[in-house]
Structure 1
Amino acid sequence: MRALGYAYLAAILAFLYVPIAIMMAMAFNASPLYELPFRFDLVWFTSLMHNERLLTAGWNSVWIACLTAVIATTLGTLAALGLARHEFTGKRFLQLMLFPPVTIPWLIIGTAMLIFFFWTGVGRGLHAILLGHVALSIPYVIVVVGARLAAHGPELEEAAASLGATPAQAFLRVTMPILAPGIVAAAMFAFAVSFDQFVISYFLAAPGTATLPVEIFTAIRKGFTPEINAISTIVIIASMSLMLLVARFYRFGGER
């Protein structure tokens, strides 16, 4: 039974990672049609450096995801603190309303945002994409940071206050160090949600502007080229390196 369990786990991992490995390998293949035998070449990375559309779309995705992570993490952390540390009328309703944006299909949310932004005069463009990504990421941040707060009650903050700490000192020296792993995880989650978001970006992008997922979708419709493999390989290596770096300093799973 143990051998069967290991085989089952290996099959799942292979199903998830073998296509990614093949996609990355084809970025280094000289053939534009993925022909074998494999011939190592960096021609598609060189070609990518001259593809203004992919580079511009990639840069749009990066700065929108960074701003989304900063704004959503700040607002979501403050909201999580308010929900965890205070009692007020409508608190349960607000907590309940965190889940519909997570569970409702993004197609419906994208359509609703498009109609709402046109009705309010916001329109379409990178600013609208940023607003949409922030609105979509805040519930995830509140859930992640709220889970961290739920594991640590207000006792330490009260102890700091009893020893003469001001509210600002208690927050900076007690609450923030406790929340730091949760805040980092929430920021990475918000960045990933924004960077990977296709539906809302597709609905809210103005003509001539696009994020990387939208541009890749458009490029695939016109004709798939290994330049997409090249930029996807760069994104995978960068994201995995960032994840390993963060995991090096934060033990999200706790200590044994």
Structure 2
Amino acid sequence: MRRPGAAAHAFGRAYVWLVLFFLYAPILVMALMSFNASEFYAFPLSFTLDWYRKLAANAEIVASSWRSLWIALATTLIATALGTAAAIALFRYEFPGKRLLQALLFPPIAIPWLIIGTAMLIFFFWVGIGRGTPAVILGHVALALPYVIVVVAARLQTFDRQLEEAARSLGASQWQVTRHVTLPWIASGVVAGALFSFAVSFDQFVVSYFLAKPGDATLPVVIYTAIRKGFTPEINAISTIIIAVSMAVMLAASRYFKFGGER
């Protein structure tokens, strides 16, 4: 006899698998097409690595990929450092306007990036920065900062303030308390915020499209331009590589820092 709730359990499991299929089926199809000899996605599938060879010879896509990578890394370092420091400051100190400041962190996440990109373009020309890689990095940092602050702040909510007080009572300086007590506790939150920053920057199209100079486009902009001219399986190839590397990094980080918790 089936135990009570078994049907609900089976339905829940089937629902989860359905959601996963909905999320990953397009990715799997795209990855398969990157190995298909037919340029027009004809079946049956005929295995080939020609599209990866052509990708390696495509100077524009390779250059934009490296440009996107180092911009994303720079954005991650800056946004993670500033966002972590801001989250710790908001956690430790009380000051006038703190609640308003915390509330203002959320609108940049909710405002459409098209509006943010337009506003950044106008602002950077107004202050004299103009378009270019520095403007792109600044724009990406501005977009990534709220994610880092929110994620790290959420981790800090589980932190016991008495640990810092105990460290200070033993003669530790503020920097020593932060380095040896606070940061180890929130390390998983910092890494999660860094991953968000990298993803936001590397995947960013709208702000990059507005702020990059002609000839210095990032990978999403190059892919968009290539699709407008005519879709080729080379796009499948570079997308497959990016997804594979991203998933490997994410799985490694989640396993090491136990993002999903322990059973």
Q: Does TM, normalized by the shorter one, top 0.5? A: yes
Give the equivalent residue in structure 2 for 1:60: 67
Q: 1:245 to 1:5 in 2, by over 3 A?
A: closer
Q: Is 1:254–2:261 an aligned residue pair?
A: yes
Q: Is 1:50–2:57 an aligned residue pair?
A: yes
Structure 2 residue ranges without an equivalent (≥5): 1-6
Shift of 1:141: 0.5
Give the equivalent residue in structure 2 for 1:136: 143
CA distance in structure 2 between the aligned counterparts of 1:172 and 1:59, rounded to whole angstroms: 33
Give the equivalent residue in structure 1 for 2:131: 124
Give the equivalent residue in structure 1 for 2:100: 93
Q: 1:154 to 1:208 in 2, by over 3 A?
A: same
Output the TM-score relative to the length of structure 1: 0.97
- Listed one character per residue, the Cα deviations across residues 163-199 of structure 1 (whole Å, up to 9, x for unaligned) are 2222222111111111111111110110001111111
- The CA RMSD measured in Å over matched residues stands at 1.2
Number of aligned positions between the proteins: 256
Aligned partner letter, 2:175: A
Q: Is 1:170–2:180 an aligned residue pair?
A: no
Aligned partner letter, 1:184: V
- Listed one character per residue, the Cα deviations across residues 27-85 of structure 1 (whole Å, up to 9, x for unaligned) are 01111111111110000000001101111111111001100000000000111111110
CA distance in structure 2 between the aligned counterparts of 1:135 and 1:153, rounded to whole angstroms: 30
Shift of 1:135: 0.7
Secondary structure of the 1:151 match is coil
Q: 1:5 to 1:254 in 2, by over 3 A?
A: closer
Aligned partner letter, 1:53: E
Shift of 1:16: 1.2
CA distance in structure 1 between the aligned counterparts of 2:131 and 2:212, rounded to whole angstroms: 6
Shift of 1:120: 1.1
CA distance in structure 2 between the aligned counterparts of 1:101 and 1:87, rounded to whole angstroms: 23
Shift of 1:239: 0.5
Secondary structure of the 1:55 match is helix
Output the TM-score relative to the length of structure 2: 0.94
Shift of 1:5: 3.5
CA distance in structure 2 between the aligned counterparts of 1:236 and 1:116, rounded to whole angstroms: 34
- Listed one character per residue, the Cα deviations across residues 85-109 of structure 1 (whole Å, up to 9, x for unaligned) are 0011111111111011011111110
* Percent of aligned pairs sharing the same letter: 61
Give the equivalent residue in structure 2 for 1:207: 214
Structure 1 residue ranges without an equivalent (≥5): none
